[in-house]
Amino acid sequence: MQKGMRWWRIFLGRISAKDKDGKPCVTYVGPGGSGHFIKMVHNSIEYGEMQVLAELVHLLRFGFGCTPEQVSAIFSEWGQGELKSYLGEITANLLLFKENGELLVDKIMDQAGQKGTGAWSLTTALEYGVPYSPLSEAVNARAVSGEKALRVEFSKTFQHEFVKINDSLDEWLPRIKSAYSLARIINHEVGFRLMKTVSDTKNWNLNFKEIARIWTNGCIIRSGLMETIASRYETSLFEIPSIKQQVISVRRDLAELVGLGLSHGFALPVMSAGINYLLGRITAESSASLIQAQRDYFGAHTYQLKDDPSGKFYHTDWIQL
């Protein structure tokens, strides 16, 4: 069996894409099911990356008033540096494609399809208790887009219109770039955290640097960020020094861009979920203590106390207070 496996690896290696060092983007992942699993998570990250690009294009075109050509030029410029990615590249290209003099993307029905892998990742994350909100919102956004008739009706009922953003695009553009970069980091962190949790639980011992390496070429989410992950990942994207510093320095840009978009009538589900996910992950004292008190009040679900290191569970008869 090992001999047969080696033969297949040689064969697949010859026909596969190659990474920047010329190594085949193919590898042995792990026990049965693990290969399908990481492909599922790959597609989930892909959903998130596509949705973030769609959100940004919409905001730039109908908020800041950019032409498709201008937006294409922005993504093309970003693609020359650390933000290079296959999805960014094709987005820049399709914004220039015209049919009979009209932008083709504007003629396409705004109903995004899906084959199920994004939803499978979400149900797996729920099963393993892994926070997954940014990538789950990418799945939800496609579902919302599918209800075209209802959206048209509600847009009339609630008189929804985009509000033009009067702020200077030149002043905002560096911050939009930083916000986009951080949103992508969060998308990848969420996906890799799900893979690590499942790997640890099932004792798969997945090699995440190697997984990232084979994703650096020949796949839809190949990017400069993936190359960084392939060379520096240990236990979390947030532990990579350069990424850690980026999270610290630009998280306000993502938060304020989301606020700007929402206040001007733009739905930004993945970017919104991304900043909420990040803030939730870095908040030492959260609001969950109130939830535990509520649960204990109506259902005697008990709670633990911060100043009791024993981990003992308590219950209070709240009604008598």
The answer to whether the Cα torsion of 126, 130, 133, 137 is positive or negative is: negative
How many CB atoms lie under 10 A from the CB of residue 116? 10
Q: Which two tokens stand for residue 103?
A: 């932008």
Measured distance CA(69)–CA(139) in Å, rounded = 28
The whole model's pTM is what? 0.93
Which residue bears the tokens 């939800």? 140
The string of pLDDT tens digits covering residues 271-290 is 999 999 999 999 999 999 99
Q: Are 216 and 226 in contact (CB under 8 A)?
A: yes
Q: Among residues 71, 74, 63, 65, which one has the least CA distance to residue 260?
A: 63
pLDDT at residue 1 in the model: 42
Predicted local confidence at residue 5, as pLDDT: 57
pLDDT at 299: 95
pLDDT tens-digit series, residues 82-139:
899 999 999 999 999 999 999 999 999 999 999 888 999 999 999 999 999 999 999 9
Tokens for 170, please give them.
């030149």
Among 203, 237, 231, residue whose Cα is nearest residue 215? 231
pLDDT at 14: 74
Amino acid at 234: E
Evaluate whether 251 touches 275 at the Cβ level (below 8 Å): yes
- pLDDT tens, the chain, 321 aa long: 455 556 666 767 777 889 899 898 888 899 999 999 999 999 999 999 999 999 999 999 999 999 999 999 999 999 998 899 999 999 999 999 999 999 999 999 999 999 888 999 999 999 999 999 999 999 999 999 999 999 999 999 999 999 999 999 999 999 999 999 999 999 999 999 999 999 999 999 999 999 999 999 999 999 999 999 999 999 999 999 999 999 999 999 999 999 999 999 999 999 999 999 999 999 999 999 999 999 999 999 999 999 999 999 999 999 875
Report angle CA 44, 186, 291 to the nearest 5 degrees: 95
Burial of 292: CB neighbours in 10 Å, binned 0-12, 13-18, 19+: middle
Catalytic residues: 39, 46
- Which segments of the chain does DSSP mark as H helices, in order? 2-15, 34-62, 68-78, 86-94, 104-107, 117-128, 133-146, 148-157, 169-202, 208-214, 224-232, 241-263, 269-282, 288-299
Of 196, 66, 188, 176, which is closest to residue 128 (Cα–Cα)?
196
Distances (CA, A) of 39 to 66, 221, 230: 36, 11, 16
CB distance 279 to 291 below 8 Å: no
Q: Answer whether 93's CB lies under 8 Å from 104's CB.
A: no
